[in-house]
Amino acid sequence: MSNKRNSSFELLRIISMYLIIVHHFVVHGITQIGNTHGLKRLTMLIMQSGGKVGVNVFVMIGVYFLVEKKFKFSRIIKISLISIFYSWAIFIVFFLSGKIIISYKWYEILIPVPGTYWFVGSYIVLMFASPILNKLINNSSKRQYKNMIFFLLVIWSIVPTFLISNMVDLGLSHSELGNSTVSSFVLDYLIIGYIKKYPNNYTESKKISWLVFFSGISIMILTFYFESFYMYKNQVVSEYINNFMNLNSFFEFWISVGLILIFKNITPFNNKFINIISGSTFAVYLIHDNQFIRPILWQKVNNAQYQSSIDFLINGLEISLLIFIICIVLDMIRRILLGNLFSSMSQKIGNYLDRKIE
């Protein structure tokens, strides 16, 4: 088993991408949360909140296998090539079908990273920063490392989660505190680095892992329930709810860490089917959230047709699963036809660049 891939994290990678699609079903759909209340609003909030958990978890899984490893350009090249491939391929399909607007930003099509795929751009920046972060981790004492995470968690997560700028003026905006998708990913990196470097009775406990996860989920759902049924017209409360669902939300980090710990502490196993599906999850994002596909996809889905909360939930989950499966099948075709070419190009270009910086 030691020489085989642990499928527990691969399964979590699949789950995290599915959560992201469900999130998009809500936020990119015709029906917006602001126009709802009661059980329908609660359902939509819960479905939406899973998206940023999915993003953080997806990053944390990548970091788990990246932290403390030697920097290699091939990893960045591979991600970039796949992103460019889907950007160009989808553009060609839409161009040939006559659905491309001539005035479109062509440079974003030719070079889609970071322009049209914010996640890819931020993740590549994180990968470039990984050697510096690894040195920081290795040269810090346990106390220094813990204090660093605490400090960054306060300014990059806790303050933005609980502070509404138009209520309390500290003379600092969220951007002035350094908040960005990259800062959230850096925090993901440092948290995972600490968990790997300093395992303890808490991070190794299955019971504690589930407790962390369920406590975070419970607080979020209770907060959503209170807002959906009693305070949905209160603008201040609604702003707090939005803060709670942001990528850098303290609760999103909390729940994400809980999920990572749960799957980390599962008895290692290897499942070929899970590993194959997991290998295409990144492409699921690139395909379904492509700038040309996104508006057409969610317009066709039309989540406004599902009036009751139960219909919205069931159809949202089913449609998201269907989208996931279709994207997986499409990427499997790419991997079968072009997988070796992509791997070869990534290695050759990556090795060349590695030699240049040595």
DSSP states of 131-148 as a string? Answer: HHHHHHHHTS-HHHHHHH
| Total tally of structural domains belonging to the chain | 1
From CA 290, how far away is CA 292, in angstroms rounded? 6
pLDDT per residue rounded down to tens, the chain (358 residues): 445 778 999 999 999 999 999 999 999 987 777 777 889 889 999 999 999 999 999 999 999 988 878 889 999 999 999 999 998 899 888 888 876 654 556 566 666 555 678 899 999 999 999 999 999 999 999 999 999 999 999 999 998 888 765 444 455 555 556 668 899 999 999 999 999 999 999 999 999 999 999 999 999 999 999 888 888 777 778 888 888 888 899 999 999 999 999 999 999 999 999 999 999 999 999 999 998 899 899 999 988 888 889 999 999 999 999 999 999 999 999 999 999 999 999 999 999 998 888 7
Query: What is the gyration radius of the CA atoms in the chain, in angstroms?
Result: 21
Residue 329 placed within a domain:
yes
| Lookup: tokens for 201 | 């009775």
Query: For residues 52 and 160, is the Cβ–Cβ distance under 8 A?
Result: no
Structural domain for 211, as ranges: 7-357
Residue-wise over 287-311: b if at least 16 C-beta within 10 A, else e? Answer: bbbbbbbeeebbeebebeebeebee
Closest by CA to 56, choosing from 260, 208, 289, is: 260
Alpha carbons 274 and 215: distance in angstroms, whole number: 28
- Report the first-to-last Cα separation within the chain, whole angstroms: 34
Q: How far apart (Å, rounded) are the C-alpha atoms in residues 177 and 185?
A: 15
Task: Give the residue among 24, 33, 18 at the shortest CA–CA distance from 242.
Answer: 33
Domain-located, residue 2: no
3-state SS of 24-89?
Answer: HHHHCCCCCHHHCCHHHHHHHHHHHHHHHHHHHHHHHHHHHHHCCCCCCHHHHHHHHHHHHHHHHH
The closest of 83, 93, 91 to 114, measured between CA atoms, is 83
The pLDDT of residue 148 is 96
In a domain, 1, yes or no: no
Residue 145: per-residue pLDDT = 96
Cβ distance 79 to 345 under 8 Å?
Answer: no
Q: Is residue 27 part of a domain?
A: yes
Identify which of 124, 128, 27, 127 has the alpha carbon closest to the alpha carbon of residue 83: 124
* Within a domain: 195: yes
Residue 224's alpha-carbon distances to 20, 86, 111, 319, in angstroms, are: 19, 37, 39, 24
Helices in the chain by DSSP H: which ranges?
7-27, 38-66, 73-96, 106-110, 118-138, 142-153, 159-162, 181-197, 206-230, 235-244, 250-264, 272-278, 281-288, 293-301, 309-357
Query: Nearest CA to 136 among 197, 180, 177, 181?
Result: 197
| Under 8 Å between Cβ of 264 and 202 | no
Q: Does residue 160 contact residue 242 with C-beta atoms inside 8 Å? A: no
Nearest-10 crossing angle of helices 235-244, 206-230? 160
